[in-house]
Amino acid sequence: MNERNGRGPVGVTLIGSGRMGSFHGASLAQRLPGARLTAVADPAPGAAEELAAGLRAASAYTDPAQAFADPTVDAVVIAAPARFHAGLIVAAAEAGKSVFCEKPAALSLEDLDRAIDAVRAAGVVLQVGFNRRFLPDWVAARELVDDGTLGTPRLLRSVTRDPGGFDPSRVAPDTIFNETLIHDFDTLRFLNPGARAVEVYAVADALVEPGWRDRGLLDTAVVTVKFDNGAVGIAEACFEAAYGYDVRGEVFGSGGMARMGDGRLTGMEFFGPAGRSSQTPRNDQALMAGAYVAELAAFVDSVRDGEPAVVSGRDARAALAIALAAAESVRSGLPVQIAGQDR
Amino acid sequence: MNERNGRGPVGVTLIGSGRMGSFHGASLAQRLPGARLTAVADPAPGAAEELAAGLRAASAYTDPAQAFADPTVDAVVIAAPARFHAGLIVAAAEAGKSVFCEKPAALSLEDLDRAIDAVRAAGVVLQVGFNRRFLPDWVAARELVDDGTLGTPRLLRSVTRDPGGFDPSRVAPDTIFNETLIHDFDTLRFLNPGARAVEVYAVADALVEPGWRDRGLLDTAVVTVKFDNGAVGIAEACFEAAYGYDVRGEVFGSGGMARMGDGRLTGMEFFGPAGRSSQTPRNDQALMAGAYVAELAAFVDSVRDGEPAVVSGRDARAALAIALAAAESVRSGLPVQIAGQDR
Amino acid sequence: MNERNGRGPVGVTLIGSGRMGSFHGASLAQRLPGARLTAVADPAPGAAEELAAGLRAASAYTDPAQAFADPTVDAVVIAAPARFHAGLIVAAAEAGKSVFCEKPAALSLEDLDRAIDAVRAAGVVLQVGFNRRFLPDWVAARELVDDGTLGTPRLLRSVTRDPGGFDPSRVAPDTIFNETLIHDFDTLRFLNPGARAVEVYAVADALVEPGWRDRGLLDTAVVTVKFDNGAVGIAEACFEAAYGYDVRGEVFGSGGMARMGDGRLTGMEFFGPAGRSSQTPRNDQALMAGAYVAELAAFVDSVRDGEPAVVSGRDARAALAIALAAAESVRSGLPVQIAGQDR
Amino acid sequence: MNERNGRGPVGVTLIGSGRMGSFHGASLAQRLPGARLTAVADPAPGAAEELAAGLRAASAYTDPAQAFADPTVDAVVIAAPARFHAGLIVAAAEAGKSVFCEKPAALSLEDLDRAIDAVRAAGVVLQVGFNRRFLPDWVAARELVDDGTLGTPRLLRSVTRDPGGFDPSRVAPDTIFNETLIHDFDTLRFLNPGARAVEVYAVADALVEPGWRDRGLLDTAVVTVKFDNGAVGIAEACFEAAYGYDVRGEVFGSGGMARMGDGRLTGMEFFGPAGRSSQTPRNDQALMAGAYVAELAAFVDSVRDGEPAVVSGRDARAALAIALAAAESVRSGLPVQIAGQDR
């Protein structure tokens, strides 16, 4: 790993000041004592300035190249649109900056391989935003895998349901696979460590918005993933759930089952005329805020200590390969093999 | 124990054809293959006939003495108003009939002692309707007490909340203690076996119906019970809960805690716009039907096998002593000692 | 519907005295006041006699034809091995007897169609043992489908995991589909009423007993079922779970989600040195006993009242069609279409 | 409220570098962007230096008076032993510093009144460390009280069980009331806002360590608190639970019930040979870390904005009055009245 510049907090520039970027920026500026938000970059007029001012970051750029040129910057957090991710990773790596990149790290394996190669050549850290790995329930489940309690995984499940209100102009035919389910594909891999996905079968449809069907858009999908250790994973997603934001999973092995996500916002239960009830999370941040901070904390630690990222480019590639196969499976109506993905 | 008449199903006459009596009658006639409902007795004109006809019982009486005179009857189930219980137990025992009696078995210790003496003299079975002992959660908790898992009990809790709609004409000042909380007092004893209640402190009020206060009626109460092994039990009751019928408890000992009653009607959970919800039981039968049948099944087994009842007159006496002390504590505003209750 | 013989309890003969047959026999003899167990038939020497004696049934046969010849018998309960089911249904129907048949009602669509035709010709009742429909959680979920609360179903799930200890000599290559998952296929249909399964994709393996693989036996399977209303169902099964018997499900629609099965034996929770814990059901009867009784009660009511069965031959045929398609999908590795199954 | 010094982060000095002090120090230094840890004070040789160095605080003192003299300090956080609390509050207030003080704010009403008077005279903020008010479940329950959903409170419960390992040399006869149950007394008040405690009855014993009994030490207690609106609260505590740290509660009113605390560390559930299980929190920080940070965040906001504290000296006084009455009740064996506590 590269030497980073200096010994104080890790200097990080944020690239992208949208919803997720703003959250990451606030984490860097206010919640992570080991990090220092040096600057915000966003091409939209005034956007970077506004966020930088709010977070007391020293600089605001309209071009991320300005960030890459700053020698006091150790790392960048990329929260730009997905189609720019791979190019930004390459540019950052070539400038010697470590990179935390929101998922998906790229939209094609070719782009992703270029990015990974650049990262390796530069010896910098690359961490991808697979935040489920930082949710306490999932961390606890993985511990039961690692310590042998769950035995050999047989069946896995990962579910993502969004609260709805999607803007169709931001949805492409493969969005449900490479933006949403890519989390679930990574989760299946996270809970079946060491195994390789070998075959994918997907069914998908526009069930929330049947009008999307003619435009080839998909809002609901179920994906079956066969692994080389015999385990079978199911990933399912829907862009709208009447009850809010739903992330759950389970891993069932020879030693038992772990179930993650109880669907509640808090443990408070109200008993009233309508029965017993709990609140549910209404958006991702209600459920994921802690995980968003934790993944950045892990990244900052990796950069500071020159340690490999806990979620690597290899993980990004394996999840993307499943997403691409799932999209192909929907187009062909057939199961799709995944070639050896070691890299 | 007495010899019972014959070898086929145990012949049982039901005394009292109200709500609880009707349920017990149906259990005897239709759900307990080891029992035979021989007759129904009720002084209300036509009541016994109607229930007997519906349940295909051979006879209907307006006077329970008729039941006591029938030599083919092995036992009676008493579901008459509480003030008649003790007298009916005495008469049944003197006629050689075993008795299942709804709680409370009597309204004074003197009456209860007379009844217990008659039962002992006759060598018949007496079981009292402390049905919580037959709820699966409570049975499972008691097993953890008996096998030592819970260790020495330290703190216990038993809660009863009714769904409301009480008829004030059927409520006397002590009703909440000797008709409702007597279940909880028995439950505390059930989960702290071998210990004796030594002191009781109660607070009670008319919080559901403040208008009751002037008439001395009480609808909400909390009772602290100290046991001679140091454990402290809390029993609480309220005549109205907006969410239905609520029976819960917990026992905490040196080895851990058991918690009974999850407040749900089924395990089905609905996630909708209002969050996550479960249905709650809306009346006692929704929660207790199985326990009502199970307690009669145990009684029928005891009569058939000549075995002691699983809930004895001694249990009835100990719970009544606590109920009487609680009522006295409310009147005096002071803790009340319970004299040695061994009998 | 046919007229049944007489007006008293429905006379039922049990065919098959194995584990499930014995349970059904006890239900008929002791738990269902509307039924009368007339006889037990089983070809194994002495088996019928023993069970009949224990349940006080009047007759014991080694040949079910004897039951069909008895004019006082209204109905038969078939709990024989699956390969005999269709033939027994035909024979019973031709003798004018109504039939409750354990699943699967047949092993091929041809056999099942013969059976259904015979039942229709005779005007008798045919109910198939899809017992999940009688579990309280599932009944409650279906109510939310029927009253519109759940909206249009999008994603469904049904899970069955057995506690293990399977005898491989009783397992054929398709057993997991036509004996185990057939419950789940019916459950998916039950929760997506009116929709028709149109395509099935299955993956399956021998993960519990890898040694089974060479013999073509399967112990773990995941099946994706597409319905003609766009909904996608996932059915999964495994022959061994370290924690016992696991039946769960969920239905997610435009109005929300219902989740069935909380995996606990009772609501009692123990908090001890190992954390918070509940007991899990260790075998099917611990979870299903009530449903086993309820399905027979519904059958007896249908026979008595001359009403159609609540689970019909058509339901049996639709579930079997999915099971056969799933088995074919595993053989071919491809999705399998289901032809129009209306009959 | 006083004007505070300057406009940047609120300058806070920590007094007391023990377990709780260290946690608060880390929160001020690393988790609260609105605060700045200026110094640590602790009379133990080297203790303040070590913590200050670890947290990059500028100064370390052995005498808190040094903190009070520093004009750049806006506020102090007092985490010293309870017997020093009142004196430190007075000294801080007289120096114009706002105060966050761990509970109990004093050990007698006289001392507390002196402290409250000093705070009022100085116009500074005083917040007391009643951290339960910042747990998400309790916050959500209070919202249901405030918006009327729960109706008029009737019965309340608050439970604290520690994981054990108490050092008897740090336990005095009243410790369980004024250090542990004082949280529960405040919680009862928090959930029954506007009501005044009027009578207290307590039972307590040494059940964990029977050997403590001779020394007058108590490790287990149950306290009944009557409020002037008729509601009855139960507070119970024990110094040892085999399953860890247990904080739970419930509030039952005319509109329903809220139940707080589900006793789990995460939502992950493991199903294995021993059944279904969840981890439980093993110490206070596992459960309360978020609340510890949130209460300081609220304090910092109050100081910055010149707003009253969300937990006031009046709250401290009311809870202390209940604690003192509970201790007296144990000594006398009788209920104890609480005089009008408005101040």
Inter-CA distances, A23 with A26, A103, A117, Å: 5, 15, 29
Question: If you search the block for the tokens 């080895």, which residue do you land on?
Answer: B255
- Contact with chain B for residue C257, Cβ under 8 A: yes
C200: nearest CA partner in chain A: A203
Mean pLDDT of D184-197: 98
What secondary structure letter does DSSP report for B210? G
pLDDT score of D5 more than 80: no
pLDDT for the residue C341? 54
Inter-CA distances, D303 with A126, B194, D21, Å: 41, 57, 19
Tokens of A105: 């790290």
Q: What's the CA gap between D14 and D42, in Å, rounded?
A: 9
Which tens digit of pLDDT belongs to each residue from B267-309? 999 999 999 999 999 999 999 999 999 999 999 999 999 999 9
pLDDT score of B3 more than 80: no
Which tens digit of pLDDT belongs to each residue from A95-128? 999 999 999 999 999 999 999 999 999 999 999 9
CA distance D241 to chain B (A): 6
pLDDT for the residue A1? 43
List of chain C residues whose C-beta atoms are within 8 Å of the C-beta of residue A240: 254
CB atoms D274 and C276 under 8 Å: no
List of chain A residues whose C-beta atoms are within 8 Å of the C-beta of residue B271: 241-243, 246, 263, 280
Q: What's the CA gap between A24 and D38, in Å, rounded?
A: 27
Chain D residues 108-147 within an 8 A CB cutoff of chain A: 136-138, 140-141, 144
Alpha carbon A292 to its chain centroid, in Å, reads 10
CA dihedral B38, B44, B45, B51 (to 10 degrees): -40
ipTM: 0.95
Inter-CA distances, A35 with A94, A135, A312, D29, D162, Å: 22, 21, 20, 14, 36
CA distance B262 to chain A (A): 10
CA distance B145 to chain C (A): 11
Tokens of B320: 């009544």
Mean pLDDT of B3-32: 89
CB atoms A261 and D270 under 8 Å: no
CB atoms B280 and A279 under 8 Å: no
Which tens digit of pLDDT belongs to each residue from A58-97? 999 999 999 999 999 999 999 999 999 999 999 999 999 9
- Contact with chain B for residue C264, Cβ under 8 A: yes
- Contact with chain D for residue B161, Cβ under 8 A: yes
pLDDT for the residue C1? 43
Contact D180, D239 (CB under 8 A): yes
Q: What is the CA radius of gyration of chain C?
A: 20
Query: Which residues, in sequence order, are CB contacts of B321 under 8 Å at separation 6+?
Result: B109, B197, B338, B341
Which tens digit of pLDDT belongs to each residue from A238-289? 999 999 999 999 999 999 999 999 999 999 999 999 999 999 999 999 999 9
Query: Would you say the C-alpha torsion C204, C208, C211, C217 has a positive or negative sign?
Result: negative
Inter-CA distances, B310 with A313, B101, B121, B315, Å: 67, 13, 19, 9
CB atoms A241 and B271 under 8 Å: yes
Nearest to A1 by CA among A90, A115, A120: A120
Tokens of C21: 């047959």
Strands C98-101 and D275-278: unpaired
Preceding omega of A104 cis (within 30 degrees of 0): yes
Can you tell me whether residue A199 is helix, strand or coil? strand
Q: Which chains pack against D, by 3+ Cβ pairs within 8 A?
A: A, B, C
CA distance C175 to chain A (A): 19
Beta-bridged to residue C281, according to DSSP, are none
Low-confidence ranges of chain C (pLDDT < 70): 1-7, 341-343
pLDDT for the residue D170? 86
Contact D258, B243 (CB under 8 A): no
CB atoms C136 and B266 under 8 Å: yes
pLDDT for the residue C303? 97
B253: nearest CA partner in chain D: D241
Which tens digit of pLDDT belongs to each residue from A202-222? 999 999 999 989 998 999 999
Q: What are phi and psi of D56, to 5 degrees?
A: 60, 35
Contact D294, D27 (CB under 8 A): no
- Contact with chain B for residue A266, Cβ under 8 A: no
